[in-house]
Structure 1
Amino acid sequence: MKEVMAIVRMNKINQTKRALSAAGITSMHAKDCLGRGKGLVEMIQLGGAEKEYEEKMNDLGNAGRLIPKRMISVVVPNKLVRKTIDVIMETNRTGKSGDGKIIVMPVTDSIRIRTGETGDGTLDE
């Protein structure tokens, strides 16, 4: 099993949640976070970019401030890793800087607290 962690734009979280659910991946966690990638962000420009003003989106890249993002964590059996990644990418790809990042990490076990059940049976199938 693997943990698929994705950092996505704040305005894409509801679409991502719906898309994962429609794909049969219903168990997930999400939290607010701050961050940035290689590019630098100027917060004045970010306001215009969040409103999808094309000229402001193209101007991003002059300062090092952190911007609000959403971090999604999904633990899935190995057979659902590719499907999970594909759904997240399809939902969040705009082709512009700031679309996010997906990180896949190994998970050694999963335990359902209520029953004590372990392994893939505790995860979405």
Structure 2
Amino acid sequence: MKEVIAIVRINMMNQTKQALTDCGVDAFFAHEAQGRGVGFVSPAVLEGAVQGYEEAAALLGEKGKLYPKRMITAVVEDSMVGCVVETIINTNQTGLPGDGKVFVLPLTDAVRVRTGETGVKSIS
């Protein structure tokens, strides 16, 4: 089993949900998140904000250097990882900064609380 974590733009969430469902992933979590990537904010804008220029501070937004995003978490069988990652990339890739990231983590086990089932049975 693997845990796939994706950070995507808010406006791409509905398309991503539909694409994941089409790929065969019906169970996942979506969380509100804030963050930014390396180099997403111009150093000149940051310097201007530090120096007190209102225009530069406005470019950073009300929440400072953090931008609203959505974090999607899905636990899938190993055989599904390729489809899930490819689906997320194809749905969210614009070629511009801020398209997001996908992380794949190994899971040693999962347990369904209701039945006590473990492993792949607990996620299907």
SS in 2 for 1:111: coil
Contact kept in structure 2, 1:3 and 1:73, CA below 8 Å = yes
1:89 and 2:89 correspond: yes
Task: Tell me the amino acid that sits aligned with residue 5 of structure 1.
Answer: I
> Which contiguous aligned blocks of 4+ residues in structure 1 show a shift greater than 3 angstroms?
none
| Max Rg structure | 2
Query: What is the CA-CA distance between 1:121 and the residue it aligns to?
Result: 1.4
Find the aligned partners of 2:7 and 2:99 in 1 and give their Cα distance. Answer: 8
Find the aligned partners of 1:68 and 1:2 in 2 and give their Cα distance. Answer: 26
Find the aligned partners of 1:13 and 1:105 in 2 and give their Cα distance. Answer: 21
Contact kept in structure 2, 1:7 and 1:102, CA below 8 Å = yes
Query: What is the CA-CA distance between 1:123 and the residue it aligns to?
Result: 2.0
Find the aligned partners of 1:19 and 1:40 in 2 and give their Cα distance. Answer: 27
RMSD of aligned alpha carbons:
1.6
Q: How far does the alpha carbon of each residue in 1:99-121 deviate from its partner, in whole angstroms, 9 at most, with x for none? A: 00001111111111111111011
| Structure 1: gaps of 5 or more residues | 43-61
Contact kept in structure 2, 1:41 and 1:66, CA below 8 Å = no
Contact kept in structure 1, 2:8 and 2:71, CA below 8 Å = yes
1:105 maps to 105
1:68 and 2:68 correspond: yes
- Equivalent residues in 2 for 1:28-39, closer than 5 Å: 28-39=28-39
Q: How far does the alpha carbon of each residue in 1:28-58 deviate from its partner, in whole angstroms, 9 at most, with x for none? A: 001101000012337xxxxxxxxxxxxxxxx
Contact kept in structure 1, 2:112 and 2:123, CA below 8 Å = no
Find the aligned partners of 1:79 and 1:40 in 2 and give their Cα distance. Answer: 34
TM-score after normalising by structure 1: 0.79
TM-score after normalising by structure 2: 0.79
Find the aligned partners of 2:113 and 2:69 in 1 and give their Cα distance. Answer: 30
| Structure 2: gaps of 5 or more residues | 43-58
1:13 maps to 13
Give % identity. 50
2:47 maps to none
